[in-house]
Every structure is written in C-alpha cells, then in structure tokens.
Amino acid sequence: MKRKHRMNSNTILILITVLLFFIMYFIGCVIYANKGFGNFQTFLNILINNSGLLCVVAGMTCVMLTAGIDISVGALVAMDCMLLATGMVKGNNCILMLLLVLLIGAVFGLVQGFFISYMNIQPFIVTMAGMFFARGMTAVISTKQVSITEANNALFYQWANTKINFPAFMGIVNNKGATMVPFIRPPVIIALLCVFAIFIMLRYTKFGRGLYAVGGNEESARMMGLNVKMIKLKAYVLMSIISSIGGICYCMNTMSGSVQQATGMEMQAIAATVIGGTLLTGGVGNVLGSFFGVLIIGTITTLVQTNGKLLSSWSNIAVAALMCFFIILQALFSVIREKTASKRKNARVLWSGK
Amino acid sequence: MRKLLEKITKTKLFLPFFCLLLVLLINLFKSPSFFRVSVSNGVLYGRIIDILNRGSEIAILAVGQTLAVAVSCGTDISVGSVMSLSACFTCMLLAGFGVHSTTVLQMPMLIGIVAGILMGGLCGAFNGVLVSKLKIQPMIATLILFVAGPAIGLLLCNNQMVYIRYDQYKYLGNFLNIGDWKCPIPTPILVTVLVVAVIAIILRKTSLGLYVQSVGINRRASRLLGINSDKIVFICYVIAGLCAGVAGVVASSRIYSADPNNIGLHFELDSILAVTLGGNSLSGGKFSLTGSIIGAYTIQAINTTLLAMGVSTDQAPVIKAVIVITIVAIQAPVFKQWWAGMKNRRQAEAKELS
C-alpha cells in the first residue's frame, strides 16, 4: 500500500517536470517565433550542446540514488578534454586515446569509490578532493588552451563534425531559399544511448535495484544480504566511466581542452537531477526525470540567449528559481507522505531514528 | 611522561593540531626564514602573518559552517556565493547602481557594510527556513543560493566590477590607519578574532551550544525533550549566513571592489574542508569550534606553502587533493580501528615472545 503511494507521488513529480518542459518550450516558441525558436533544429541544438551534461547526469542519478554525491565530474570532464586534446595534437591514435580516457575514468572512480565505501569517508569530501585533483591535473597536462584541428587528428575531427541528417521532408526552407534539414551530431547518440542504458540498468538489473535498496535504507539492504560496500563502489566507478564518456562528448563539441572548461558542470548536473525528481537522501529517482531536467536547463539557457538583451546571469537565476520550486514541491510531497504514514504507524517510530 | 603523551594524543584536537604542525614543519625545513616576523613600515610582515591574514575568510566561514554542519547533519554549500552576494550588495550601496568606479560614497560606509552583513543574514534565514521548516536536505536547500548568489550579485553590479576607491573602505581588508597611528596587525585577523570570540561567548554563555549538539545528534528526541529544534536549526543557519556576510565584506575590502565572479569562488569547499580537517564529523552532533579554526589555517598554510614553493595556482590543487585525502583518511574511524588492531596484535606478539 505504502509502496504504491510512494510511486504515485514520484510519477507526479516527473510528470510535472515533463509538463514544465513542454510549457516552457511552447512559451519560447510563441514569444520568439520570429527568431526561429520553433524550429526543430533549436530543440536538437539543445541536445547537441548538452550531450556531455546528459551523460554526466545519467551517472549522477545512479550515485544520488545511493544517497551519495559526486562533485568531481566537472573537473573530470575538463581533464578528459585536456587529455584528448593534448594526446591528439601530439598525433596519437584516436581510438587509443578514447580507451585511455575511459580507463582513467574507471581508475578515478575506483579510487573515489574505495575511499567512500571502504574507508567510510563522506562522499562530498572525497569527491571534492577528486575535483581538486582532476582540475589540477588538467593544469599539469597543459595550462594553455589546446585545440584539435583537422590537421592533427583527421579521424576524430571527422567524427565530431559528422552531421546525421533527418529525412529531407522534415527540412524547412530558410529566407535565402536553401533547404535546412535538421541534423544531430554523434555525441547526441552516445548520450542518448547512455541514458537509455542507465534506464534499463536501473529498472531491470540486479545491480540497478540494489542501488535503490542501498539508498532507501542501507541497514536493511545489508540485512537483506546485499553487499552494500561493493554496490557503492560500483556506483562510483560507473559514475566516473560515464562522466568520461560525457567528457568525450563534451570534447567533440568544443574540440579543445583548457583548464577552465566545464566549471560548474557538477552543480548543473546536480540541479538537473534535482529538477528531475531524484532525492539526495537516496532511494527515490528516475533517470528519465533527470533527462528532462537537462532539457529544462538547456531550454532556459537557450531562451536567455535567444532574447539577446538579458544578462546571462538571468539563466542562472531562472534555474535557481526552478530548483527552489521543485525542492519545495518535493518537500511538500514528503511532508504529506510522512503525515499519512505516521497515521498508520504507531508512536514508537517517533523514538527510533532521527 | 608516557602517560602525559598518551593523554595528549588521546585528546580530540590532537590530530588536527598535529596536521597543522606537520605542514608548518615542512615549511621550516624548506625555508628556515619561514617563521621570521619582521616589522617594516610600521606593520608586521612574514609568512605566518600572511597565513593568518589570508586564512581569515576561511576561518570566519568555518565558524558558521561548523554550526550548520553540527545542527543539521549536512553542509551549507552556499557560503561562498553568499560572500559574493554581500560584497556586491555593499559595493552597490556605497557606489550607487551601475557606477563602475567611485571615489565618493553614496552613504555612510558603516551603513553599507552593515547592510552587506545583514544581506548575508537574510540569505542564511532563507536557507534556515528551507532546512528547518520544510525539512529539506541542507545541501540541496543551499544549492539554490549557491547557483543564484553570484548571479544576483552580477545583476546588482550591472555585470561589471565595481571599484570603491575610498581609503577608509580599504581598512577592513588591509591595515587600520587612524590618524598617525597604524595598527601593525592586519585587520582581517582582528575581525576573525572578534567573530570567533562573539560566537564562542554565545555558545558558552547561553545554552545554544548544548542545544546545537543535542539537535544535531537527534532532532526528534530533542524536540520531545522540549527544545525548539526548528528554531535552533534556523538560528545556526542565520549565523552561518552572517559569517559569510562578514567574510564577503572583508574579501571585498581587500581588493576595494566587488568582483561577483571571483569573490568567494570555491570558498564553500574550503570551509567544509576546514570543518572536516578539524576533526568534526559531517554527520552532525558534537562539534569543536577550535578544531574548525585550526582546520581553516591548515588549508591556508597548505595554500601558502604551495605558492611559496613555486607551484602555479592552477596546478596546486593536485597536491592539495593528495594532502587533504591523506589527512581525512588518517582521521577516518576505519583507519583508527585498523591502527588500533595493529597495535593490539603487536602487543600480543610482544607478550608471546616474552
């Protein structure tokens, strides 16, 4: 009975997120119709620009489900970009570099996960150290901005600049008379695959259900016979690997590496996950909600950019306001949930736990 | 003698203090002139003074952060942003909206500074309501202001840096200068001492300190005991906000300007780190103000050491991360248990041999 109720309020939260995205997008279409906001390509551009963030958010959802957090992702993405850029400029094999980045991501996650699950140190502190480390390593590799051009790595350049066109009938004729066919780039496909894989994993695999169990109540998960420490460790390894994939997507978009890249990405990822209805206390959440969270953040940024006159800080304020709205909504839901639950339970519960 | 040594190592503050000493000792070996304090031009100079001076903001923030962590089992990640916001607010009031640089103040300096600090208090109150009344996890609740703070600051400053070229405004961040008399100690140190003294007296002389620990250990049980838990949580967050306001004004006075993007950048991380390095648990409950302050100066000592060794500011985080994770790992309960186990085994072996 309780489970059903709980699933209910979560679905409502995700529905609100999805609805809000459509409303915002619709408002954008109406206000900025003359600036081409209504084009299908605008929507695809949001996906293209946020493909790195999408990957990161998929991983962040898994970590937040275990009641953890990972604030090292932005720095990790920056390190990956820098590594890819420097490696490719020096003429290394493209595929080798990509594999190296994934391997480094796995090792990075392994170390973080070890400290968090086996040494029992707070995730925030460990990943903060990880963030310092990755950001510093970026500077150690190079303090300058390194760009990948066609001359130094043709294969990667070709991949990043591939246009995957939609069928021609979806195209529109612009004011110069040329037909513009909507297109996406490879990072989008990688990102969507990541989100889909995580969705399947969370829903149908043993490990995915284990994440929910650990986040819901660590003690009872242990009593059920789950290897809590191992699951947590795996979650952080998964997070770092997916962040590395996100780093590759990000690098395909920017085609460069610099120290200041992807600053604040971790907070954007957390914001998207929160807007998507995942609770930081763990055990509640869905990667689909996070996906729409990213779309909402992307839409806000695009709206502010399309306006042109507004300061860019307005997009941050809008994101903060939205987050405030969702957080309060979640809090209200949990208050209602608690009240209905406490009616059923006896008063003894009050004495145990916080 | 041995008993005394054992007694010293058993105290809670031993490890934080030991870490600070270790960092300072490394400096002593590296450059023997490290501890030299000289007087030139009527003011004190030296590395130690520099550490004390530059560490002021972190120490002030750490005081507020300690209370927030202790009372709510979570971290206030908005302090850095609140610093930036109060600095911008003060400078906006003093210079007038949209003014880029000014030599004439629009209102008495004191009013501007107090308003800036109160702005911090207001932000703290906002966080406090979210955390205490709506029972939102502190990190998520403060994430709102974390994102919004610098953005609102940028709006207040009209998207530019605001310079206050007014001599008395520099006093707070540099040296006091009354008539012919020049105070030899940098003002930020005096401000830190004042803030710490006020908070310590409040905690000691009123029952607030006891209540904070009680609420942090078990919020529900404290409420049943007749403590107004919500009010205590709220007060702690307001204090954290006020501390952030003070730190923001000091930081702004240091560079006699408001730089929304750089004031308070990463200070939330440093302040949380200070609390952890001080041996406080991030899961709330018992806290030690002294420990946090030692932690704050440890961080600054690490920063100053790295800079003195010629490590670039971009690369310094790598070493900082390694040091931080080592210090935190040494203080982790798991490591302590393992260490104690080793000790016991060695003693048992020694007994067997004899």
- What ipTM score was computed for the predicted complex, to two decimals? 0.83
Q: How confident is the model at residue A1 (pLDDT cuts 50, 70, 90)?
A: very low
Task: Supply the pLDDT for residue A35.
Answer: 76
- What is the pLDDT at residue A346? 54
Task: Report the amino acid identity of residue B327.
Answer: I
If you ran DSSP here, which 8-state letter would residue A177 be given? S
Which neighbouring-strand residues pair with B275?
A: none
End-to-end CA distance of chain A: 24
pLDDT at A354 over 70: no
Query: What SS3 class is residue B277?
Result: helix
Task: Determine the average pLDDT of the residues in A36-49.
Answer: 85
Cross-chain Cβ contact B321/A280 below 8 Å = no
User: Residue A184 has what DSSP assignment?
Assistant: E
- Per-residue pLDDT of A148-168, as tens digits, reads 888 878 888 888 888 888 877
Q: Which of A186, A188, A215, A335 is nearest to A286 (CA)?
A: A215
* Band of residue A2 on the pLDDT scale cut at 50, 70, 90: very low
Q: Which residues of A touch B146 (CB under 8 A)?
A: 267
Helix (H, G, I), strand (E, B) or coil at B102: strand
Q: Indicate yes or no: CB of B220 within 8 angstroms of CB of A280.
A: no
At B191 the pLDDT is: 94
Pick the range with the lowest mean pLDDT from A188-192, B2-6, B189-193.
B2-6
Q: In chain B, what residues touch A138 (CB-CB under 8 Å)?
A: 314
- With CA atoms as reference, the chain A residue closest to B142 would be A324
Q: Is residue A345 pLDDT above 70, yes or no?
A: no
Structure tokens at B293: 């302050």
Q: Which residue of A has its CA nearest to B138?
A: A280
Q: State how far the Cα of A181 lies from the Cα of A166, in Å rounded to an integer.
A: 7
State the pLDDT at residue A216. 86
Q: Give the gap in angstroms from C-alpha B154 to the nearest C-alpha of chain A.
A: 7
For the A50-302 domain, the top CATH level (class) is mainly alpha
CA distance A243 to A221: 27
pLDDT of B262 over the 70 cut: yes
Residue B11 corresponds to which tokens in the numbers above? 């105290």
Q: Does residue B316 carry a pLDDT above 80?
A: yes
Does B151 contact A143 at a Cβ distance shorter than 8 Å?
Answer: no
> At A284, is the secondary structure helix, strand, or coil?
coil
CB contacts < 8 A (A, B): 143
Answer yes or no: do A129 and B334 touch at CB < 8 A.
no
Chain B residues in contact with A331 by the CB 8 A cut-off are 130, 134-136
Closest residue of chain A to B218, computed from CA coordinates: A354
Nearest CB among A129, A131, A327 relative to B141 is that of: A327
Instruction: Give the burial class of A119: count Cβ atoms within 10 A of its Cβ; 0-12 exposed, 13-18 middle, 19 or more buried.
Output: middle
Q: Are strands A256-257 and A146-147 parallel, antiparallel or unpaired?
A: antiparallel
Which pTM does this prediction carry? 0.86
Q: Is the pLDDT of residue B118 over 70?
A: yes
- Give CA–CA dist B106/B96, Å, rounded: 6
The pLDDT of B1-8, averaged and rounded, is 79
Highest averaged pLDDT of the listed ranges A74-78, A282-286, B95-99: A74-78
Q: Where are the domains of chain A?
A: 50-302
Give the model's pLDDT for residue A176.
Answer: 67
Q: How far is CA B229 from CA A331, B185, B209, B212, B218, in A?
A: 18, 40, 13, 9, 10
Indicate the pairing of strand B177-178 with strand B162-164. unpaired
Q: Which two tokens stand for residue A298?
A: 């992307």
A295 pLDDT more than 90: yes
Question: Residue A79 to residues A57, A125, A146, B201, B292: CA-CA distances in angstroms?
Answer: 18, 19, 12, 46, 31
Given an 8 Å threshold on Cβ–Cβ distance, is A317 in contact with B134?
A: no
Least confident among A82-96, B27-41, B127-141: B27-41
Evaluate if residue B322 carries a pLDDT over 80.
Answer: yes
CB-CB under 8 Å, B136 with A331: yes
Summarised one tens digit per residue, pLDDT across range B164-189 is 888 888 888 888 877 777 788 899 99
Contact B321 A328 (CB under 8 A): no
Say if residue B50's pLDDT is above 70.
yes
The pLDDT mean for chain A works out to 86
Q: Which residue has the higher pLDDT, B160 or B116?
A: B116
Detail the DSSP E strand segments found in chain B. 38-40, 43-45, 101-102, 162-164, 177-178, 181-182, 257-258
Mean pLDDT value of segment B95-111: 87
Confidence of residue B337 (pLDDT cuts 50, 70, 90): confident
Residue B341, number of CB atoms within 10 A of its CB: 10
3-state secondary structure of B140: helix
Pairing of strands A179-180, B177-178: unpaired
Q: Is the pLDDT of residue A182 over 50?
A: yes
HEC string of A307-318? HCCCCCHHHHHH
What residues contact residue A160 under an 8 Å CB cut-off, 6+ apart?
A148, A185, A186, A187, A251, A252, A253, A255
CA–centroid distance for A173 within its chain: 34
Tell me the one-letter amino acid at B60. I
Give me the pLDDT at residue A110, please.
96
- Concatenated DSSP letters of A23-40: HHHHHHHHHTGGGTTTSH
C-alpha R_g of chain B:
22
Q: How far apart are CA A64 and CA B137, in angstroms?
A: 13
Contacts of B137 in chain A (CB under 8 A): 279-281
- For chain B, the domains span 44-310
d(CA A190, CA A194): 6
Structural tokens at position B205: 């002389």
Q: How far is A136 from chain B (nearest CA, A)?
A: 4
Residues in chain A: 354
**Closest residue, chain B, to A72 (C-alpha):** B321
Predicted confidence band of residue A9 (pLDDT cuts 50, 70, 90): low
Are B334 and A118 in contact (CB < 8 Å)?
yes
DSSP B228: -
B305, B293 Cβ separation under 8 angstroms: no
Contact B272 A323 (CB under 8 A): no
